[in-house]
Structure 1
Amino acid sequence: MEKTMRAVVTHGIHDYRLEQVPVLQPGPGELLVQVEACGICAGDLKAFMGGERFWGGSEFAPYVEPPCIPGHEFIGRVAQVGAGYDGPFQVGDRVTSEQIVPCGTCAYCKRGLYWMCEPHNVYGFKHYLNGGFAEYMIFPRQARVFAVPEQMALEDALLIEPFACAMHGVDRARIEKGDVVVISGAGTLGLGMIPYARRFAPAKIIALDLKEERLALARRQGADLALNPAQDDVSAQVMALSQGCGCDVYIEVAGHPQSVLQGLQLIRKKGRFVEFSVFGEKTTCDWSLIGDAKELDLYGSSLSPECFPKTIAGIADGSLPTAGVVTHILQLEDFEEAFRIAAQGGIKVALRP
C-alpha cells in the first residue's frame, strides 16, 4: 500500500492545489477506498468560486473547513478494511457512499432524518472528512455504503449520487397523474429528474434551459417540451397546456435567481414549488405571490435520503437513462481545466486519479 497519494486540496477560494498527501489508514470499522473517479457537483464549483453558502457571510457560518479534499460523487473499490469492520464489503468490492455521513446521535438522526444531521458532515468540505478528488479516501464507520454493479460503466456509475438527489427532489414534488410539470435547469439533476418524474404519469414534462445541447438531452430523457426562456415564450406555452392556469409543479434546479422568479410566475394557484439548488447569489421575490396571490406549497429538497438503492437499480435496468450526461472525464492533475469546463456549461464533469 502506498504511503502517499495525489489529491486536490482546498486551501481557500480559488486556492485548490494538487498535492502529495499521506494515505490515511482505516480506523476501527472504517473502509479505505481506492477512488475510480469522482464527479464535480455544482456545489463543488460554487465553493471553488467563493459562494457565501460555503465560506460564510452575514447569514452563514463557514461550511468549508480547509485544508480538505473535495468531491462527494465518487465510485471506488475497497482497498483495506479497518479492525473490527463487520459490514458486508470486502477488499476488491466496487462501492459508493451517500454524500453525508450521519452522526447517529443528534436530534435529527434520532428521528430518522439522517440527511438533516446537525453536524451535516458531507464528504469533501471538512478537514476530517475528505472527499474523492484523490487516489484514496476513507469511508467512516457511520457511512452509508452501497455496492456498485461490476458491469456498470463508469460514466453510468458516476451518476448514482446526482440521480439519487434528483429522485428525492421529484419525490418532494408529489407529482400526480395529469400534472403539468416544469423542470427548470437541464443539468445533471434536471436530466435525472425527467425520466423519474415520468413514472408518476404527468400530462406534460417541460424542461427549461439556456443551452441547446442540454435541451436536446432533455428531449432524449423524455421531456415533452424543451424550451429556452431566452428564445421561447415559455409562459404562453405553459398556459396553453394548463387551461390558462399555470403548471402544477415547478422544480427549480438551475440555481439562478431568475429561475426562481420565473417559477413563481409560471406556477398555478395551489401549485407545488420545489427548490433544489445551491445559489451563488441571493434571491428576492414578492412573497405575496406565495401567500395571498397563489397559496403555494413550497418544498426544499436536500441530498438523497433512501434513494441510492433505487437509483442504482434504475441506472442498471435502463429506466433511468444516462447516455450523454457525463460529458468529460479528466485526470486529477487537470482539475483546473475540469472546473473551467464545468463552469462554462459541461454537464457532468469528473476527475479520475
Structure 2
Amino acid sequence: MPAWGGYVLGDEIQPSWVKPPFIPGHEFLGHVVEMGRNVKGYEIGDRLTADQIVPCGECRFCKSGRYWMCQPHGMHGFHAEFNGGMAEYVRYTKNAIVHKVPKDLPLEKALLIEPYGCSKHAVDRANIQCTDVVVISGAGTLGLGMVTYAALKNAKALVSLDMADDRLEKAKAFGATHAFNPSKVDVNAEIMKMTDGYGCDIYIEATGHTSSVIQGLGLIRKLGTFVEFSVFSGPTNVDWSIIGDRKELDILGSHLSPYCFPYVIDGISKGALKTDGLIRTTFKLEEWEKAYDYASGKYGDLKVAFIP
C-alpha cells in the first residue's frame, strides 16, 4: 500500500484515500454469523460478499444511481469504520451493497468476484463493438479478468500484452486472439499490421506502469478509446497534444465495480468467466509470512489466498 504514494496517503492535489487505523482486505467473503433485528432477506449461514464501497446514499452521486462515486466514499479495508477481510468479523452496514454467493462455488473461484467485478466495469467502459481491435495491456489477475469478459464481446481481435510469457499463455486460454510480449516483439508494428496502419480501436491500461500509458497513446488510432484502470506509484508524463490535437481521443477512467457483482457471480459459477489457475497456492492463517512472500509474485503466483 505505501507504494501508491500520494494516491493513498494524499498530497497537495488529492485527499488521503485511507482513514487509519483500519484493517485491510477488500477481496473477501464469509458467512453470516449474526444479524440485526431489522435485517430481512438473509439467514444465519448465508454466504455473502459485498461491493468494496459502502455508499452514503445521500450525496448527489448516490441519489442519481452512481453510488460507486459516492462523495464520502466509505471503503471496506481502507477506512477505520469499515473492517476489511483481515478482521475476524466484518459488519455489513445497512448501506453496504451485499450479494449472496452460492455455497457450492469453490472458494478459489469465489475470491475472484471482487477483482472480476472491477475488470468487468473497465471493459464495459470501453463499449466494445464486434468490429473493434481491442488491446488490453497487462495480464495479471485484473487484466485476465478483462480478457475473459472481453472475449464474450466477440471483437474483431482481442490482444493481450504482458512482459511474462506464462501470463500471455493464460490470456490466450482465456480468450485473447493475440498475445504479445513488448520486450520481445515490436508491438506497434504488430498492431499496425493488424489494422492497416490505423492503430487499435480500444486500449485498456491495466499495468500501472508509465510505459504502458505511453505505449497505448502510440498504438491507438485517431478517435479511439483509451480506458485507464490502474493505480500508479507516481506521476506519468505524456504529450497531451496526442490526446487532443493529434488524435482527438476519448480518455475514460474506471473505478470499482458498480452493478457488476450479480453478473460476475453468475458468470464464474457457470464457467462463462474463466478462472482456472489464477489462485493456485493457498495458505492457512498461521502461514501468513509465507503467504506474503508468495504474494510478491516471485514464485509465479498471480494471487494467493487464505483458506480457513
TM-score (norm 1): 0.84
Choose the corresponding residue for 1:85, options 35, 39, 58. 39
Provide, for residues 250-290 of structure 1, a one-character-per-residue CA deviation record: whole Å limited to 9, x for no partner: 00011111110100000000100001111111111000000
Give the total of aligned pairs.
306
1:189 matched residue in structure 2: 142
Shift of 1:49: 3.5
Tell me whether 1:53 sits opposite 2:39 in the alignment: no
Q: CA deviation at 1:104?
A: 0.2
Query: How far is 1:149 from its partner?
Result: 0.7
Give the corresponding residue for 1:207: 160
Match of 1:65 in 2: 19
Note the 1:96-107 alignment, pairs <5 A. 96-107=49-60
What is the aligned partner in structure 2 of residue 14 from structure 1?
none
Secondary structure class of the residue paired with 2:128: coil
- Write out aligned runs for 1:146-295 (5 A): 146-295=99-248
- Which residue of the partner structure matches residue 348 of structure 1? 303
Deviation at 1:117, TM superposition (A): 0.2
Amino acid in the other structure paired with 1:69: I
Q: Determine if contact 1:134/1:332 at 8 Å carries over to the other structure.
A: no
For the residue of structure 2 that corresponds to 1:217, the secondary structure is helix
In 2, Cα distance between equivalents of 1:187 and 1:146: 25
Please give the secondary structure, in 1, of the residue aligned with 2:25: coil
Contact 2:2 2:8 in 1 (8 A): no
Relative to 1, partners in 2 of residues 1:255 and 1:235: Cα closer, same or farther, differing over 3 Å? same
Partners of 1:122 and 1:201 lie apart in 2 by 34
Distance apart, 1:332 and its partner CA: 3.2
The Cα shift of 1:89 comes to 1.0
| Overall identity of the aligned pairs, in % | 50
**Candidates 291, 300, 306, aligned match of 2:253:** 300
Question: What is the match of residue 61 of structure 2?
Answer: 108
Q: Deviations over 1:213-238 (max 9, x none)?
A: 21111111011111111111111111
| 2:163–2:183 Cα contact (<8 Å) kept | yes
In structure 2, do the counterparts of structure 1 residues 50 and 204 end up closer, same or farther at CA, with 3 Å as the change threshold? closer
Alpha-carbon separation, structure 2, partners of 1:351 and 1:291: 46
Contact residue 208 and residue 229 of structure 1 kept, 8 A: yes
Per the alignment, do residues 55 and 333 of structure 1 end up closer, same or farther by CA in structure 2, a change over 3 Å counting? farther
Name the residue aligned to 2:98: 145
Distance 2:286 2:162 in 1: 31
Moved more, 320-329 or 234-243: 320-329
Q: Does 1:332 align with 2:290?
A: no
- Tell me the distance in 2 between the aligned counterparts of 1:121 and 1:284: 30
- Structure 2 gaps, min length 5: none
**Structure 1 Cα separation of the partners of residues 54 and 307 of structure 2:** 23
Distance, in Å, in 1 between the alignment partners of 2:289 and 2:235 is 26
Q: Distance in 1 between matches of 2:157 and 2:247?
A: 21
The residue number in structure 2 matching 1:18 is none
Query: 1 or 2, which has the higher strand percentage?
Result: 1
Does the aligned pair in 2 maintain the 1:81–1:91 contact within 8 Å? yes
- How many angstroms apart in 2 are the aligned matches of 1:215 and 1:296? 27
Instruction: Give the residue type in structure 2 aligned to 1:323.
Output: D
Q: Which amino acid aligns with 1:350?
A: A
**Are the counterparts in 2 of residues 133 and 351 from structure 1 also a CA contact under 8 Å?**
no
Q: Deviations over 1:105-129 (max 9, x none)?
A: 0111011110000011110111111
1:39 alignment counterpart: none
SS in 2 for 1:206: strand
Q: Distance in 1 between matches of 2:2 and 2:294?
A: 13
Distance, in Å, in 2 between the alignment partners of 1:58 and 1:336 is 35
The answer for the alignment partner of 1:74 in structure 2 is 28
Secondary structure in structure 2 of the residue aligned to 1:250: strand
Alpha-carbon offset, residue 340 of structure 1: 3.8
Distance in 2, matches of 1:279 and 1:116, equals 19
Q: Which moved more, 1:133-142 or 1:305-314?
A: 133-142
Partner of 1:29: none
Q: Are the equivalent residues in 2 in contact too, given 1:100–1:123 (CA < 8 A)?
A: yes
Q: What is the CA–CA distance in structure 2 between the aligned matches of 1:292 and 1:338, rounded to whole Å? A: 48
RCO comparison, higher one (Cα < 8 Å, 6+): 1
1:5-24 aligned at under 5 Å gives the runs: none
Shift of 1:48: 4.3
Deviations 1:79-106 (A, max 9, x none): 10012212x1110011111111110001
